[in-house]
């Protein structure tokens, strides 16, 4: 079967052929014809099987007829992350170059000004993340009443990121009569409930069992102590014929620290995580795609849908907390029929997480053994040992240069005082005792007369003066006579 058999227009077939594709994948062959027939679709397929093109190609032909209006997009594609949204936009630019279609990209991390300007000019395709779309909708910058085609991509990832309430709100603002396409790699119950609510008599397309793995990927799990993970990663990067690799971590701090460590060890590594601004993330991805760096340390922000050609290895530095993320992580390699290798580091505290992964995928991951002693080349071990010896030698030299505290010989010590001197000191007259303060009254407080007691804090020191008399301080010069 070829793309020409799917009913696509000649202009679109020309763009597909220019991109180097001749035969559709399984999900594309089954999804494109019903989409062109304006039917609702639920598509379940492995990551890396061409789900994006299965809705982008028929959308271009559907939107080729019609006119656009200001602030009212004709179609809407919802993506969970900025990177996925940007990738879908690239697909539209690549396949829609022979069509007069205008597209807008609404993602966070960038200024709203250009996005609002594009909406005011009118767009055929609006690609957005739920957060930025809701923000602009609440500001009154966009109207969804003219949207006749909705695509919800990576629906299970939307669920993990907590976007389902936003999607329900967005769907309620769209016209009731519309075409809805839902694509996902897994089908948890909340996604099934969402599909039952917002899709009308959908066609269910399943080209592989949900959460199944790509057979072109050789998977391995490696039992390793948490402290030896970096050592194991360095060994595999040096010995396993790694061309390009993505290393996934669960935490952003781990991403930063690991990327810094790999750079210090001489590897060409970069990093991408959620704390980076959008321009930095795009720049780092472009460096990785261009080959300026061949190792990308990433959090799960890069685990979904990113299509980087030629990734030979995926390393799960941390076993993923969510089993679904394992399928998407290893799906960054072995794409478009290529082969790949995936290693998952399993520390003792990851036993439950890896068990959940194997339960979801329905198969046990083969174990991989390694020799910790051979983790580093002999030269590097020898050089590190020599550095340690040099450091110890320097410390020893410092110790020798310091003068040691030797105890003084016994004859140098002052002799104790003789008994005669001690007796002479005892015969010295003692100091006279200080006489007692005779002014101090030794009588008990109760026996003292009231007049002798000091006035209390709030008691007046003198009796009150008669009315009309001066009761303030008397200046001393009044007592001096002028005569």
Q: Note whether 69 and 166 are same-domain residues.
A: yes
Please identify, among 154, 171, 206, the residue that sits at the C-terminal boundary of a domain: 206
In a shared domain, residues 197 and 229: no
267: enclosing H helix or E strand? none
pLDDT of residue 387: 39
The tokens for 353 are 């997480």
Q: Which two tokens stand for residue 27?
A: 């999900």
Residue 417 lies in a domain: no
Does residue 188 sit in the same domain as residue 229? no
Q: Are residues 114 and 236 in the same domain?
A: no
User: Do 71 and 125 fall into the same domain?
Assistant: yes
260 lies in some domain? yes
Answer yes or no: do 255 and 159 share one domain.
no
Give yes or no: residues 86 and 123 share one domain.
yes
The verdict on 261 and 154 lying in the same domain is no
Query: Is residue 399 a part of any domain in this protein?
Result: no
Q: Among 126, 339, 348, which residue's Cα sits nearest to residue 225?
A: 348
**Angstrom distance (rounded) from CA 437 to CA 13:** 117
Predicted structure pTM score: 0.64
Q: Which of 332, 351, 378 is the last residue of a domain?
A: 378
Residue 249 maps to a domain = yes
Question: What pLDDT shows up at residue 119?
Answer: 93
Which domain covers residue 253, as residue numbers?
217-378
For residue 102, the domain's CATH number is 3.40.50.300
Per-chain mean pLDDT for the chain: 81
For residue 397, what are the CA distances in angstroms to 1, 221, 389, 391, 404? 79, 48, 12, 10, 13
- Give domain status of residue 474, yes or no: no
Q: How many residues does the chain have?
A: 483
Q: What pLDDT shows up at residue 346?
A: 95
The most distant pair of C-alpha atoms in the chain lies apart, rounded to whole Å, by 137
Is residue 150 in a domain? yes
Same-domain check for residues 188 and 276:
no
Among residues 378, 393, 421, which one ends one of the domains? 378
The pLDDT value given to residue 396: 43
pLDDT in tens, 294-320: 999 998 876 665 678 889 999 999 999
pLDDT of residue 281: 86
What integer pLDDT is reported at residue 333 of this predicted model? 87
Looking at the structure, do residues 155 and 227 belong to the same domain, yes or no?
no
Co-location of 329 and 238 in the same domain: yes
Q: What is the pLDDT of residue 399?
A: 41
Q: What is the pLDDT of residue 376?
A: 47
pLDDT tens for the chain, residues 1 to 483: 889 999 999 999 999 999 888 899 889 999 999 999 999 999 988 766 788 999 999 999 999 988 888 899 999 999 998 888 988 999 999 999 999 999 999 998 888 999 999 999 999 999 999 999 999 999 999 999 999 999 999 898 888 888 999 999 999 999 999 999 999 887 889 999 999 999 999 999 988 655 556 678 899 999 999 999 999 999 999 988 899 999 999 999 999 999 999 999 999 999 998 888 878 888 998 899 899 999 999 988 766 656 788 899 999 999 998 887 888 888 888 876 678 899 999 999 999 999 999 988 888 999 998 765 443 444 444 444 443 444 444 444 444 444 444 455 454 555 554 555 555 555 555 555 555 544 555 555 555 555 555 555 555 556 666 676 777 777 777 777 665
How many domains is the chain built from?
Answer: 2
Q: Is the dihedral of CA 359, 365, 371, 372 positive or negative?
A: negative
Query: Does residue 463 sit within a domain?
Result: no
Could you tell me if residue 72 is inside a domain? yes
Q: Would you tell me how many other CB atoms lie within 10 Å of the CB of residue 288?
A: 24
**Sign of the CA dihedral 380, 383, 385, 388?**
negative
Would you call 238 helix, strand, or coil by DSSP? helix
Burial class of 52 by CB neighbour count within 10 A (0 to 12, 13 to 18, 19+): buried
301 shares a domain with 192: no
- Which one-letter DSSP state was computed for residue 436? P
DSSP string, 326-383: HHHHHTTSSGGG--EEEEEEE-GGGHHHHHHHHHHHTSPPPB----GGGGS-HHHHHH
Q: Each residue of 183-198: b (16+ CB within 10 Å) or e?
A: bbbbbbeebeebbeeb
């Amino acid at each position: 079967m070829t793309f020409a058999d799917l009913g696509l227009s000649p202009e679109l077939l020309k763009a597909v052929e220019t991109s180097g594709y001749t035969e559709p994948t399984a999900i594309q062959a089954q999804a494109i014809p019903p989409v062109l027939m304006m039917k609702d679709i639920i598509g379940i397929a492995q990551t890396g099987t061409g789900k994006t093109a299965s809705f982008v190609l028929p959308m271009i032909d559907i939107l080729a007829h019609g006119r656009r209006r200001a602030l009212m997009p004709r179609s809407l594609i919802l993506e969970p992350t900025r990177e996925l949204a940007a990738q879908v936009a690239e697909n539209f630019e690549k396949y829609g170059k022979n069509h007069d279609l205008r597209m807008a990209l609404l993602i966070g991390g960038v200024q709203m000004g250009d996005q609002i300007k594009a909406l005011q000019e009118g767009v055929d395709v609006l690609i957005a993340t739920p957060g930025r779309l809701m923000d602009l909708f609440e500001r009154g910058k966009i109207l969804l009443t003219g949207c006749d085609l909705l695509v919800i991509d990576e629906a299970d990832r939307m669920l993990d990121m907590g976007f389902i309430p936003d999607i329900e709100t967005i769907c309620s603002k769209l016209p009731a009569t519309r075409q809805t396409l839902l694509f996902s790699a897994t089908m948890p119950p909340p996604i099934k409930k969402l599909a039952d609510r917002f899709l009308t008599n959908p066609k269910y397309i399943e080209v592989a069992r949900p959460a199944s793995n790509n057979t072109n990927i050789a998977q391995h799990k490696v039992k390793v102590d948490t402290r030896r993970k970096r050592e194991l990663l360095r060994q595999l990067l040096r010995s396993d014929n790694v061309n390009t690799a993505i290393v996934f971590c669960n935490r952003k701090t781990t991403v930063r620290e690991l990327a810094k460590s790999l750079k210090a060890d001489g590897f060409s590594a970069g990093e991408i995580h959620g704390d980076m601004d959008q321009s930095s993330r795009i720049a780092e991805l472009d460096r990785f795609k261009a080959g300026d760096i061949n190792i990308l340390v990433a959090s799960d922000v890069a685990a979904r849908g990113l299509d980087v050609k030629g990734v030979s290895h995926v390393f799960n530095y941390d076993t993923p907390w969510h089993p679904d993320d394992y399928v998407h992580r290893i799906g960054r390699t072995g794409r478009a029929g290529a082969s790949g290798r995936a290693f998952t580091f399993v520390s003792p505290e990851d036993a439950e997480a890896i068990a959940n992964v194997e339960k979801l995928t329905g198969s046990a991951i083969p174990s991989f053994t390694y020799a910790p002693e051979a983790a580093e080349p002999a030269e590097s071990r020898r050089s590190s040992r020599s550095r340690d010896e040099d450091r110890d030698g320097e410390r020893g030299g410092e110790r020798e240069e310091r003068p040691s505290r030797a105890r003084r010989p016994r004859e140098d010590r002052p002799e104790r005082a003789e008994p005669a001197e001690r007796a002479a000191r005892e015969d010295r007259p003692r100091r006279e005792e200080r006489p007692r303060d005779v002014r101090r009254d030794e009588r008990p407080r109760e026996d003292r007369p009231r007049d002798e007691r000091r006035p209390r804090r709030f008691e007046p020191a003198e009796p009150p003066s008669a009315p009309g008399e001066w009761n303030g301080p008397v200046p001393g010069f009044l007592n001096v006579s002028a005569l």
